[in-house]
């Protein structure tokens, strides 16, 4: 069982042994869309096999597909050096040759001669060098996928160009149609429609026999057909493409990850200006994600709401709803009654189930399972054994606090929304509800009240089912639930509340000397003024030394508070360079969970207590300086809040702007042996322009040639002959001006100019 919230790979038991097994496991998880698990497998595999290039690349893919593009780039930097040998000089030669050609007819002699001089230097740099493709097709494919995610995140043309180049290399190395169709789609997006059509035509030729081998797995057969369908779209054969994708849909046993991959490619084709038939939207659909909430089985002496005799009817209704929704991924708690019936129905469908526990396992069994009898407890344990993930909203004791169920509902909502976002869809809520007035805290009615999208809500009327069996109701009818609305809810919970927490450490404070303390106090005063000006006020805040502890009711304003604080400190670091020996920076950790709120008996101020305070505090020391790390509990709650805000904006006819990006970091060991925690990097969503898709008339060739797998520099003799002709043409208009000697740049500056330029060269080389 897992302590953090979210799926975590268990690589300690039944772990792969050889490097090839680790690599196959990681690749299989990526193909299934299990990016979090793939990341953790790659991380653990690299500890055993640190020289595995593929594990590093697969790990970067997993990160990039969860939004952590910058971290993926960092991982790939050393690999690009090894794979792309001396590409910088050849890029410089290409640029200088183009500039020289452009100046041939120029009357500006100085400009022409300067271009010739630059070209001569470029030729000298590539003399005797070869540019060789050193990686295999799978490596090129993996690298290309990272740059594709980078482009999707940034919208920058050079990321798209690198992606196309790498897919081309993979295609030329293997002739695999899958790599070819990716290169074709990227060419279409770059505006190189001629090459896109040429590649697509070649793919249709390679696959003209269609699905010829019935012994292939459903996954491979679906990939073959979807590749063919995309190629047909690119060459303008829309009707043929519809038929191909219809054929692909009939294949049984295809994992939803393959369908999502085809869906993403189809969206890129549409973005590239290709007319995609509307029929394909009904043929290629993302998997249906279902969040479940429902009544537990009646406790002895209660009800009747869900008597044991109603089990078969509820089971049938749940199965019917899942069939109508074509449910493939589910999120639920696991109480005896409708929760377990939902889980069992999903497992019978071969669907994926993710269980969230609201509190400690023993307490949950005692309160929500065991009263149903040994059969239900056995079914509970079997459900957890077969679930894809079992995670905890909190591992702490129940202690009679029903608000823990509401917190678990928020986590269910947020997790399902996060997963749906990755899959390009939105989750449904399926509820088994008796339609009784009022809402028990954390019950089905409470969950429905918090659900924002009525169009994505399905309700099974439990009372309607009960009315079909009058003998189960009795003369008095169903008893109303015991709803006690007297007093404040937080009073009723005896001080235990759900809060969002921030712990912050000021990096660099320990290096300050006595004479720096007045400036440090001025720094804190300016920081406070910046936060007040931003208009964000915590419920409670405390400091000691260089540490800051803040508490808020909700996660979304806390995220804004943390990022605003980070930005203010970065600005103050520049403003106070002359007052402090080194710029100060922050490590910020965020967490959400149940805590005890009380007046401190010693100082008389409001304070907060409990293990979740410790968990938030133990994350801060392992946070990277200058970053904001958040637990998955915090991210799940924030995502649920954002989903509600989005729905409210849509209902009011307003636009909703996403402000935050949550990038998966991994499962980190917390400070002082406080266990492990699934962690995200929280940052602001960058304001980027629309993806750079170039019209055909403006497109220029980008990247490697289309018909070679190994590139060799042009012979020096050939280039010199070309230069001689250029200079003859330039001399014809020469007015006698002498060429000015060009100052040689320092080697480091030269490298920075033609290798590190992000617009033309590979980042990280």
User: What is the average pLDDT across 64-73?
Assistant: 67
Token pair 């986590």 is found at 411
Strand ranges inside 324-363, DSSP E: 327-332, 352-357
Q: Which residues, including other chains, have CB under 8 Å from residue 753's CB and lie 6 or more apart?
A: 745
Strand ranges inside 546-644, DSSP E: 547-552, 585-599, 606-609, 628-631
* pLDDT value at residue 216: 82
User: What is the average pLDDT across 162-173?
Assistant: 88
Q: Which residue has the higher pLDDT, 353 or 18?
A: 353
Token pair 């996928």 is found at 145
Phi, psi of 638 (to 5 degrees): -60, -40
Whole-model pTM: value is 0.71
* pLDDT value at residue 110: 76
* pLDDT value at residue 188: 94
User: What is the average pLDDT across 132-140?
Assistant: 69
Q: How high is the mean pLDDT of the chain?
A: 78
* pLDDT value at residue 107: 72
Q: How many CB atoms lie within 10 A of CB 361?
A: 15
Q: Is the pLDDT of residue 552 over 90?
A: yes
Residues 737 and 109: beta-carbon distance below 8 Å: yes
pLDDT-above-70 percentage for the chain: 78
pLDDT band at 321; cut points 50, 70, 90: very high
Strand ranges inside 305-433, DSSP E: 327-332, 352-357, 389-392, 428-433
pLDDT digits (tens, 9 = 90+) for 140-165: 887 788 788 778 777 788 888 888 98
pLDDT digits (tens, 9 = 90+) for 442-456: 788 888 888 888 889
Q: Which residue has the higher pLDDT, 33 or 752?
A: 33
66-70, 97-101, 275-279, 645-649: which has the minimum mean pLDDT?
A: 66-70
* pLDDT value at residue 183: 94
* pLDDT value at residue 687: 61
Q: Which residue has the higher pLDDT, 100 or 298?
A: 298
pLDDT band at 233; cut points 50, 70, 90: very high
* pLDDT value at residue 453: 82
Token pair 């897992």 is found at 2
* pLDDT value at residue 488: 43
Residues 545 and 517: beta-carbon distance below 8 Å: no
* pLDDT value at residue 698: 45
* pLDDT value at residue 79: 64
> Mean pLDDT: which of 153-162, 396-405, 502-511 is highest?
396-405
Residues 116 and 730: beta-carbon distance below 8 Å: yes
Question: 304 preceded by cis ω (within 30°)?
Answer: yes
* pLDDT value at residue 554: 92
pLDDT-above-90 percentage for the chain: 27
User: What is the average pLDDT across 168-193?
Assistant: 91
Centroid of chain to Cα 115? 45
47-56, 662-671, 686-695: which has the minimum mean pLDDT?
A: 686-695
Considering only CA atoms, give the Rg of the chain. Answer: 31
- What is the biggest distance separating any 2 CA atoms in the chain, rounded to whole angstroms? 114
> Mean pLDDT: which of 28-37, 376-385, 528-537 is highest?
376-385
Token pair 């697509």 is found at 200
d(CA 142, CA 148): 10
Q: How many CA atoms lie within 13 A of 705 on its CB side?
A: 11
Residues 633 and 591: beta-carbon distance below 8 Å: yes
Q: Is the pLDDT of residue 135 over 80?
A: no
Q: Is the pLDDT of residue 753 over 50?
A: no
Residues 51 and 645: beta-carbon distance below 8 Å: no
Domains of the chain: 87-131+704-754 (no CATH), 288-478 (3.40.50.450), 492-684 (3.30.70.1230)
Residues 562 and 569: beta-carbon distance below 8 Å: no
Q: Is the pLDDT of residue 315 over 90?
A: yes
pLDDT digits (tens, 9 = 90+) for 694-713: 554 444 444 433 333 333 33
65-69, 221-225, 488-492: which has the minimum mean pLDDT?
A: 488-492
Q: Is the pLDDT of residue 2 over 60?
A: no
pLDDT band at 631; cut points 50, 70, 90: very high
Q: Is the pLDDT of residue 690 over 50?
A: no
Q: Is the pLDDT of residue 594 over 80?
A: yes
Q: Which residue has the higher pLDDT, 194 or 662?
A: 194
The dihedral sign for the CA sequence 343, 344, 345, 350: positive
60-64, 319-323, 407-411: which has the minimum mean pLDDT?
A: 60-64
Nearest to 615 by CA among 540, 497, 503: 503
Q: Is the pLDDT of residue 126 over 80?
A: no
* pLDDT value at residue 196: 93
d(CA 113, CA 731): 9
Nearest to 397 by CA among 610, 230, 571: 610
Q: Which residue has the higher pLDDT, 3 or 149?
A: 149
């Amino acid at each position: 069982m897992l302590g953090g919230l979210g799926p975590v790979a268990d690589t300690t038991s039944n772990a792969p042994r050889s490097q090839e097994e680790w690599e196959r496991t990681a690749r299989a998880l990526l193909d299934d869309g299990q990016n979090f698990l793939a990341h953790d497998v790659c991380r653990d595999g690299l500890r055993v096999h640190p020289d595995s290039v593929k594990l590093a690349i697969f790990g970067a893919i997993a990160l990039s597909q969860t939004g952590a593009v910058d971290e993926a780039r960092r991982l790939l930097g050393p690999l690009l050096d090894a794979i792309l040998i001396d590409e910088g000089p050849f890029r410089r030669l290409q640029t200088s040759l183009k500039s020289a050609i452009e100046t041939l007819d120029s009357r500006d002699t100085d400009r022409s001669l300067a271009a010739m001089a630059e070209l001569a230097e470029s030729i000298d740099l590539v003399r005797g060098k070869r540019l060789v493709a050193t990686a295999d097709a799978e490596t090129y494919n993996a690298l290309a996928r990272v740059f594709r995610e980078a482009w999707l995140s940034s919208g920058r043309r050079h990321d798209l160009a690198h992606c196309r180049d790498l897919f081309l290399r993979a295609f030329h190395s293997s002739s695999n149609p899958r790599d070819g169709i990716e290169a074709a789609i990227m060419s279409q997006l770059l505006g190189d429609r001629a090459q896109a059509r040429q590649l697509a035509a070649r793919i249709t030729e390679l696959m003209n026999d269609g699905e010829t081998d019935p012994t292939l797995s459903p996954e491979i057969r679906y990939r073959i057909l979807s590749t063919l369908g995309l190629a047909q779209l690119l060459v303008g054969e829309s009707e043929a493409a519809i038929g191909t994708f219809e054929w692909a849909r009939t294949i049984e046993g295809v994992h939803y990850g393959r369908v999502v991959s085809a869906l993403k490619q189809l969206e890129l084709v549409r973005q590239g200006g290709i007319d995609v038939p509307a029929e394909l939207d009904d043929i290629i659909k993302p998997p249906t994600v279902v969040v479940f909430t429902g009544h537990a089985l009646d406790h002895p002496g209660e009800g009747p709401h869900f008597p044991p005799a109603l089990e078969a009817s509820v089971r049938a209704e749940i199965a019917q709803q899942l069939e109508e929704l074509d449910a493939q991924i589910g999120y639920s708690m696991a109480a005896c009654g409708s929760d377990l019936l939902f889980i069992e129905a999903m497992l019978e469908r071969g669907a994926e189930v993710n269980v969230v526990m609201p509190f400690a396992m023993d307490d949950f069994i005692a309160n929500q399972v065991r009263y149903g009898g040994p059969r239900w407890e056995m079914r509970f344990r079997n459900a957890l054994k077969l679930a894809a993930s079992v995670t905890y909203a909190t591992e702490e004791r129940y202690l009679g606090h029903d608000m823990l169920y509401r917190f678990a509902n928020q986590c269910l909502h947020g997790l399902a929304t996060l997963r749906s976002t990755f899959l390009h869809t939105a989750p449904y809520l399926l509820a088994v509800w008796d339609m009784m007035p009022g809402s028990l805290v954390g019950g089905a009615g409470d969950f429905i009240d918090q659900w924002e999208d009525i169009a994505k809500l399905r309700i099974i009327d439990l009372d309607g089912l009960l009315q079909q069996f009058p003998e189960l109701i009795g003369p008095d009818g169903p008893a109303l639930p015991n709803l006690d609305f007297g007093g404040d809810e937080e009073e009723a919970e005896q001080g235990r509340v759900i809060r969002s927490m921030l712990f912050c450490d000021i990096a660099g404070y320990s290096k300050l000397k006595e004479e720096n303390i007045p400036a440090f106090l001025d720094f804190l005063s300016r920081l406070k003024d910046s936060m007040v000006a931003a208009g964000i006020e915590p419920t409670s805040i405390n400091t000691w030394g260089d540490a800051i502890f803040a508490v808020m009711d909700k996660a979304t304003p806390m995220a804004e508070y943390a990022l605003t604080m980070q930005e203010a400190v970065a600005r103050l670091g520049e403003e106070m360079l002359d007052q402090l020996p080194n710029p100060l920076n922050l490590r910020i950790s965020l967490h959400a969970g149940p805590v005890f709120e009380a007046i401190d008996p010693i100082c008389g101020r409001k304070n907060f207590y409990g293990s979740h305070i410790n968990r938030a505090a133990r994350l801060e020391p392992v946070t990277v300086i200058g970053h904001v790390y958040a637990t998955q509990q915090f991210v799940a709650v924030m995502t649920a809040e954002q989903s509600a805000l989005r729905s409210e904006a849509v209902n009011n006819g307003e636009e909703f702007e996403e402000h935050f990006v949550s990038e998966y970091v991994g499962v980190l060991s917390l400070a002082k042996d406080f266990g492990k925690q699934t962690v995200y990097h929280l940052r602001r969503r960058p304001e980027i322009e629309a993806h750079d898709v170039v019209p055909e008339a403006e497109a220029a060739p980008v990247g490697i040639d289309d018909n070679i797998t190994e590139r060799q520099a042009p012979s020096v003799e050939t280039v010199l002959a070309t230069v001689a002709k250029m200079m003859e043409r330039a001399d014809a208009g020469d007015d006698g001006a002498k060429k000015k000697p060009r100052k040689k740049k320092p080697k480091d500056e030269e490298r920075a100019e033609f290798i590190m330029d992000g617009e033309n060269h590979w980042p990280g080389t």
